[in-house]
Chain A
């Protein structure tokens, strides 16, 4: 019997201001933000994954489960600093597939 896979949600974001941030650092800060707000169980529910991050344009693509998009947005909005410098993570587009995001925004 076929089993339906877990539905995902993909969010594109940008980092402001023009601060050079590495992929590892941004992943660390996203995970830490989720952990602060929702704990370890929250991380497992949201199942976050940084799919791609472009440090030059400061754009990234993050994935979460379909029903926890609100929590993911919340965790991203809660990020205020990285390496002691003030930043803001702004989500610009969300979609159920990476392909649609690519078509819509032509970002990746």
Chain B
């Protein structure tokens, strides 16, 4: 069975995080990453990581912030609000995930274009699409966003950049079961196997690798 992983859960309080953790397990997920308020309990056969979302505009600002927070979180994601920040994020191997603005107009200037993809391909940094960007928006905006994401996924595939599809859910009502997420990925005209990898193999490998890396660092610091 595939190790289904949702790398972007954003609960507002810890109790909500616990509910989301249980629901994720019930839905068939094996791993998850929480932003802000991680759950305060463990459940068997389920691993979760801590994640931080950094919104960046300036190159210098991004370098400083990432340097300060890298050791505190398992996964670092950067939402690139400007081209300058996007280029820096692509070059920085401390960053695990890059994402782009939800607004299609803003995304016309800051997106995973060919040059961005070329820069990103060397670092092992993944490109993330969030379901919450697609929900509750008008048909016109949705169609524009789908077109944009299709182009970005195409560029990512050309340059072997790992692509991740997460829910970005801020409550349990916005969470979707793994097969539903894979079905929603059909909107980007990608085959089912690739879509399933976007929510299982690719994010799971990243999460496990980062958890092991942090564990090693903790042991080194303790020793």
Contact = CB atoms under 8 A, between A and B. Distances in A.
A55 B174 CA distance: 21
Interface string B174-187: 11110111111011
Contacts of A71: 183, 186
B179 A78 contact: no
Contact of B180 (A37, A76, A87): A76
B139 interface: yes
Nearest to A72: B183
B173 A88 contact: yes
B147 to A, nearest CB: 14
A43 to B, nearest CB: 15
B182 to A, nearest CB: 8
Interface string A6-26: 000000000011000000000
B136 interface: yes
Contacts of B184: 74, 77-78
Contacts of A78: 134-135, 184
B192 interface: yes
For this complex, into which size category does the number of interface residues on chain A fall? 10 to 19
A38 B182 CA distance: 16
B173 A17 contact: yes
Contacts of A88: 173-176
B19 to A, nearest CB: 11
Interface in A48-74: 70-71, 73-74
A87 B192 contact: no
A86 B173 contact: yes
A14 to B, nearest CB: 11
Nearest to B171: A86
B180 to A, nearest CB: 4
Given A87-B173, A88-B174, A73 B136 contact: no
Contacts of A36: 139, 142
A48 B181 CA distance: 20
Nearest to A87: B173
A73 B27 CA distance: 15
A90 interface: yes
Contacts of A98: none
Leading 3 A-B pairs by shortest Cβ distance: A77-B180, A73-B183, A74-B183
Interface of A: 16-17, 36-37, 70-71, 73-74, 76-78, 80-81, 86-88, 90-91
8 contacts: A74-B180, A74-B187, A77-B184, A88-B174, A88-B175, A88-B176, A90-B27, A90-B180
Given A90-B176, A91-B179, 15 more contacts: A16-B172, A16-B173, A37-B187, A71-B183, A73-B183, A74-B183, A77-B177, A77-B181, A78-B135, A80-B135, A80-B136, A80-B174, A88-B174, A88-B175, A90-B27
